[in-house]
A and B are shown apart, each in its own frame.
Chain A
Amino acid sequence: MQQQDSATETRASIDDADVARFAALAEKWWQPGGPFQALHAINVPRLTFIRDHLCRLHGRDMRDVKPLKGLRLLDIGCGGGLIAEPLARLGAEVTAIDAGEDAIEAARLHCEKSELTIAYRQISAEQLALEEERFDCVLTLEVVEHVADLPSFLEASAELIRPGGTFFAATLNRTAASYLLGIVAAERILRWLPPGIHQWSKFVRPSELVAPLRRHGVAIQEISGISYDPLSRSWSLSKKLDVNYIAFGIKS
């Protein structure tokens, strides 16, 4: 299932400085209490949102342990496979791509230990869009705030969805609250994230996703906030979109 791509292919939307930052962390993707703990923590609301929308749309039972059986998913910017693995475990046929060689290597190693089958490839969304394969669902989670050329990235992502397929994007909003919580608190005070992992200026407002995606035939249907509750020390879906949020769309 796994394919090896040349590391020298076109990397249109990829920001090289960001790729290097992640490479240094590749080993640590799955480490409990490690630098990606924040991504593990928001997995419950992110996966809930994705599963619930896909189950509703495809008439699947959310109580099933393999509700996504047969759906062909593309995870763009998969990192160590934190979202690709759960989705594969839910029965989906997952292709997962990332620009970082170390991340893909870490993901492949972990996938084997988890006894799952995921097609990992080191390739950009733009490059993959030149190939023929189209997917039932394309996911870009915590990715758009890291890409160098957002319009090109969104165009390629939309292109990779089959007509009638679905799209999910999760990112950080560009607000005063996201500066305080997403940068100052998360990186500098609470140390949930490695310092410098995010640039606030690259955070993406919901409107900056909705308008370009509409031009490429993807209509955003719902946007939900992902918020932290300090009392229960857990993350859940919420109505507050000012920091973390996740969007769901359908391609016409």
Chain B
Amino acid sequence: MALRSLRYAAVYEVDNKFRHMTADGQISADLAIAGGGLVGLSLGVALARAGLDVVVMDGEDPARMRDAAFDGRVCSIAYGSKRVLDGIGVWDLMAPEAEPILEIRVTDQNAPLFLHYDHREVGDHPLGWIVENRVTRIALLEAAAACPTLHHLAPVSVLDFTPEGERISAGLADGRRVSARLAVAADGRRSRLRQAAGINTLEWSYDQAGIVCTVRHERPHRGIAQERFLAAGPFAILPMTENRASIVWTEQTSDAAHLMAMADDAFLAELEARFGDYLGALEVAGPRFSYPLALTHSNRYAGERLALAGDAAHAIHPLAGQGFNLGVRDVAVLAELIVDRARLGLDIGAPDLLAHYERWRRFDTMSLIAVTDGLNRLFSNDIAPLRVARDLGLAAVNRTPRLKRLFMRHAMGSVGELPRLARGEPL
């Protein structure tokens, strides 16, 4: 990591990179993205590689983001998302540290194996990959630094976005303004720009929390991911590099608080009781995190010369590991709609483009929200008839190859009307 990070130095020489900066500090670009997280940077890289002038603004200092120690957070990257990251030149930078998921085993409480996904059933590629967020972030920063038309403006604070007819202008806390034809809010679940644009959200929370941590185990996991539906909620074991696994562990909110407060050895004992001993001795590596399980869904994905992407549009709970994948699909769709216009010299902030984006993305997101919400409600209980029914259901799915393949392809992000990047085609 240390060697590689030397090459990012160029990213931070920000101010002299602008081709369109006027004397009064006004910066002009095609696209202004608020939020330099995984989604904002991916979109910036995709469009800068296509030749557009892009400004990515973030409150966090990229040097700190790059140097951050492993914080335990990982993303499950579906096959479709991998193709998108490949298409924007980022995947090769992260591939050495991506652990392939070769099998997924879904079990229910103490019952035997019910649903088994094997990557050989869908083709010659893994079902997905588990990658540390830190690795993805560094790969994106490196790809961004290689784009001469991407300007990474950080740390800055964006105060407002003001549509001004043909353009939209972002006001920064230091008094400068960034003017662009289209603005994208990729500033997270509590998006300030979404609120400023007057776009409301629908939110609902569960009385559950997701505990996330990393474990080191004695024996290799052989690329097998486990999803166990326990009475309190799902417990997932996701294979990471170097005999490690990421745990996403759902509990009632009060129980989660109790677990979070426990001493290390007591916490490990609780973890072992759920994990089992199939991989030998366990050891917790790194910190524990706890997130309330909640959904935030924006009523609209677009405003005047403004598009929402990633968690700013839809933040789903980590149950199905799909949060980042939804964001990557936003990136692939938005990038395609924008370049198709830009390559005809047309307005990339036009209302019909934004309406098309919203139509295209909402269907996909809504169906995924319905599935994850439904799964969580179905499995987070211990009512006997429901248990029997869902056991039968899972067993039936497992015996119906076509239905099972459809489920798998859904999880891999290859169902529905796919943008070019997700089909493995160039942007």
Which residues does A use to contact B, with CB under 8 Å? 32, 43-44, 47-48, 51, 62-67, 85-90, 110, 113-115
Contacts and interface: CB of A to CB of B under 8 A. Distances in A.
Interface of B: 28, 50-52, 165-167, 339, 342-346, 350-351, 426
B126 to A, nearest CB: 30
Contacts of A115: 28
A44 B52 contact: no
B344 A88 contact: no
Contacts of A88: 345
A44 B346 contact: yes
B342 A65 contact: yes
A32 B343 contact: no
- Tell me whether chain B's interface is mostly helix, strand or loop, or mixed: loop
Contact of A87 (B339, B345, B350): B345
B344 A43 contact: yes
5 contacts: A63-B339, A63-B426, A65-B52, A86-B346, A113-B167
A88 B28 CA distance: 18
Nearest to B53: A65
Given A32-B351, A115-B28, A62 B343 contact: yes
Contact of A89 (B50, B345, B350): B345
- Tell me whether chain A's interface is mostly helix, strand or loop, or mixed: helix
Nearest to A55: B343
A57 B406 CA distance: 45
A85 B343 CA distance: 13
A114 B166 contact: yes
Contact of B51 (A43, A62, A65, A113): A65
Contact of B50 (A65, A67, A90): A65
A32 B347 CA distance: 12
Contacts of B50: 63, 65
A66 B344 CA distance: 9
A90 B345 contact: yes
B343 A43 contact: no
Contact of A85 (B28, B51, B342, B345): B345
Nearest to A62: B343
Q: Which 9 A/B pairs are nearest by Cβ-Cβ distance?
A: A86-B345, A89-B345, A65-B51, A90-B345, A47-B344, A113-B166, A65-B342, A86-B346, A114-B166
A48 B344 contact: yes
A82 to B, nearest CB: 10
A32 B350 CA distance: 9
B351 A47 contact: no
A66 B28 contact: no
A65 B346 CA distance: 10
Contact of A66 (B51, B166, B167, B351): B51
Contacts of B351: 32
A86 B344 contact: yes
Contact of A47 (B28, B52, B339, B345): B345
Nearest to B166: A113
Nearest to A91: B345
A113 B343 contact: no
A47 B346 CA distance: 9
Given A32-B351, A89-B345, 18 more contacts: A43-B344, A43-B346, A47-B344, A47-B345, A47-B346, A51-B344, A63-B50, A63-B426, A65-B339, A85-B345, A86-B344, A86-B345, A87-B345, A88-B345, A90-B343, A90-B344, A110-B166, A115-B28
Nearest to B181: A114
A63 B343 contact: yes
